[in-house]
């Protein structure tokens, strides 16, 4: 198996079949695996869950075109990681600064719920990203992203419990001394129910910025 990103990957039969149907229903959509976006040598890597149907799956850029991207890109701009506060399309003028965005699963899953075996199968791409350009800090958006990062680093969940605004020092032998920050996912559900507020999200980014500035 190749570990580098593959636009034509069909290793998960359920996801491949679902994307075939999406392409038939929405011919103008990207409807393929969605590549990481941003600075290849960034110190900050943000990991989400998977492309959204009418967001990244449509646009071809992570968190672009759906509700989840509104708070994320606004926050990235607020803290100097993005040249503008809105991500509109994969070919717009937005530039990320010292930041890269990826997903635990690169293909759109039905009902936004990838199966455990699909997360495991796709994890080699995230592991390759971490080997090729190790960041100093990873921000995991949600528990599944958190677990995917640990898997990509060859670490067990024990000792690295997910919690909003938690910070974990990953062992240098497995992850080059990366610091893993956790946040609730910036999904429509979490923001509308106030499980995640803008103030809570910005507190995480302030922590990350302080981390990057002190080393």
pLDDT tens for 83-102 read: 999 999 999 999 999 999 99
**Model pLDDT, residue 177:** 81
Note the helical H segments in the chain.
Answer: 13-25, 56-59, 68-78, 116-132, 143-152, 172-175, 188-192, 198-213
pLDDT band at 175 (very low <50, low <70, confident <90, very high): low
pLDDT in tens, 53-93: 999 999 999 999 999 999 999 999 999 999 999 999 999 99
pTM value is 0.95
- C-alpha pair distances (Å), 124 with each of 4, 127, 128, 141: 8, 5, 6, 19
């Amino acid at each position: 198996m190749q570990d580098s990103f593959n636009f034509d990957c069909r290793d998960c039969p359920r996801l491949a079949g679902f994307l075939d149907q999406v392409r038939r229903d929405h011919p103008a959509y990207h409807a393929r695996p969605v590549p990481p976006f941003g600075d290849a040598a960034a110190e900050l890597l943000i990991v989400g869950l998977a492309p959204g149907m009418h967001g990244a799956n449509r646009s071809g850029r992570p968190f672009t075109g759906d509700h989840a991207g509104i708070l994320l890109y606004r926050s990235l701009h607020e803290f100097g990681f993005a040249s503008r506060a809105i991500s509109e399309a994969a070919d717009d003028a937005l530039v990320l600064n010292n930041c890269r965005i990826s997903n635990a699963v690169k293909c759109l899953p039905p009902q936004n719920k990838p199966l455990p075996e699909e997360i495991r199968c796709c994890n080699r791409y995230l592991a390759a990203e971490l080997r090729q350009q190790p960041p100093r800090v990873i921000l995991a958006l949600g528990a599944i992203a958190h677990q995917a990062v640990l898997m990509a680093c060859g670490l067990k969940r024990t000792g690295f419990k997910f919690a909003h605004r938690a910070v974990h020092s990953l062992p240098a032998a497995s992850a080059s001394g990366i610091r893993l920050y956790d946040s609730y996912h910036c999904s429509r559900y979490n923001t509308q129910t106030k499980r995640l507020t803008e103030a809570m999200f910005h507190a995480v980014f302030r922590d990350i910025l302080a981390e990057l500035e002190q080393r």
